[in-house]
Amino acid sequence: MEKSISKKQVIGFSLAALILTGMFFVPEVNALSPAGMKTIGMVLAFLVILITEALPLTLICWTFLGLMPLLGVTATFPAALTGFANPVVFFILASFGIAAGFTTTPLSRRILLLLMRRFGKNVSSMLFAIMLCNTIISTVVSSVPTCTVFMTICLSFLELYENEEDRRSAGRAFMIGVPLTSMIGGMMTPAGSSINLLAIGLLEQFTGTTITFVQWMIVGIPLSLVTLPVAWFILVKVYRPAEINPALVKSFIAKLDIDPKISSEEIRVLVVTAIMLVLWIMSSWFSGINIMVVALLGCCVLFLPKIGVLEWKPFIKNVNFDPYFLVGTVLCLGNAMVSNGVSDWIITLLPTFSMPIIGLVAFSAVLVFVMLIFIPVAPSLVTLMASPLIAMATGMGHSAPMIVLTLALCASNAYLLPLDTIPLITYSTGYYSMTDMPKSTALIQVFLVAVMAFWIPFACGMLGM
């Protein structure tokens, strides 16, 4: 059966083909070699195809992995695949297993029920309960699966609305609030987002220094705790979700149908998660404990007979491999940017004059948020900007870990427009438009810039980073 192609896809294919062709005819610019120019062209074409959704996500990744050696961005195909050797890509798969442990058992719904009984007096407080629950779980589970789980819960709640206009009014706030808090919660620990671990790995690669689990928590937890209520307040004021009959709210809580007694499966998931969290924290003092190894083995334990709560075949059928291939491909392109001199070229474009530490963090935060509009794939942006920002900070006599924290925490909050993988999950529901999101998220990002400019230098100084 012949499938039609949308106008958006035609534009994506045409523009990407134009970029890939044009990159062969652009002369050297400011010491940027032809290989570097090809790499930039490849990255731009990749982003165009990604944003226009011209192909399924995994197919986009496969296509560009094949094009890299074919068009001369890498010398060989194995060289094009170097990003998949990064342990971050395995952490992504492990995070889906950890998330499945929470969703296969009633754990996530039990936590939600506890919060809703405490806060579920009206729609606004219900929204806060869901956002708070999402934030808590996102501290140890990657943002993509938590966003998917809570989107499903919210969609069930929205079905209680009898009036379509009221449903859409509330749906806008809930569908924007879910990806927001998936990212806000992800700031708390390195395990909360693959972006965090990617940034730590790049810092180690470029400087030989690292950020420990506890150091990250000391910086990230206060930022999340301060940002969550502000984000909720802005969402309620901007979108004004329609109220609903309290009786219907009670009905929704009752329909969650959770046994008051916690099951043995839930206890096992909690024990495994608690052990992982303890080991992650201990990794701050014991270098032999690797965060990603703990996540991978912890995920495996959830599948063990008599101990685990998951079965392999049902799990593997439901795994979404898109994030795995997306991050792996982005890392491959990032490695090409470094080896072909693109990162060194970007360094020449950044300011070289000295800035006070607060000004440097604020400048870097604004730069990252602005660049997320043009490069809305956070792993791509982190990989591209890590080396230049580290060079800029160290050149001014400031801390490399401090600037990498700023880069990662800002890139993790990629919600000015619904172009990143996480907000795209709820954008697909149709409850809000492309222009609805920045009405609230722009204010949240401005708030984050202000808080980070003062908190990150203070916290890093206190930690000796």
Digit-coded pLDDT (tens) for 368-417:
998 887 676 777 788 888 888 888 888 888 889 999 999 999 998 888 87
Over residues 186-197, the mean pLDDT reads 85
* Whether pLDDT at 104 is above 70: yes
Higher pLDDT, 246 or 362: 362
User: What is the model's pLDDT at position 222?
Assistant: 94
In the predicted structure, residue 163 carries a pLDDT above the cut 90: no
Compute the average pLDDT of residues 12-26. Answer: 87
Q: Tell me how far apart the alpha carbons of residues 243 and 428 are, in angstroms, rounded to a whole number.
A: 24
Which of 24-28, 136-140, 357-361 reaches the highest mean pLDDT? 357-361
Helices (H), 120-212: 123-138, 143-158, 164-186, 194-207
- Residue 32 DSSP SS3: strand
- Three-state DSSP at 40 gives helix
Q: What letter does residue 437 receive in the DSSP assignment? A: T
pLDDT for the residue numbered 226: 95
Reply yes or no on whether the pLDDT at 280 is more than 90.
no
Q: At what angle do helices 378-395 and 34-52 cross, to 10 degrees?
A: 140
The overall average pLDDT reported for the chain is 83
Q: What is the pLDDT at residue 404?
A: 92
pLDDT in tens, 37-74: 888 889 888 888 877 878 888 898 899 999 999 998 99
- pLDDT, mean of residues 274-280: 82
- What are 202-224's pLDDT values in tens digits? 898 888 888 888 899 999 999 99
pLDDT confidence of 225, banded at 50, 70, 90?
very high
* pLDDT given at position 193: 81
pLDDT of residue 1 exceeding 60, the answer is no
Residue 252 has pLDDT above 80, yes or no: no
Residue with tokens 């929470």: 102
Please indicate whether residue 196 or residue 422 has the higher confidence score (pLDDT).
196
Tens digit of each residue's pLDDT (9 = 90 or more) over 284-313: 677 778 777 888 888 888 888 877 788 888
Buried b / exposed e along 173-190 (16+ C-beta atoms within 10 A) = bbbbbbbbbbbbbbbbbb
Where is pLDDT greater, at 289 or 131?
131
Name which of 141, 144, 231, 152 is nearest 184 in CA terms.
231
* In the chain, % of residues over pLDDT 90: 19
- Considering only residues 15 and 418, tell me which one the structure prediction assigns the higher pLDDT: 15
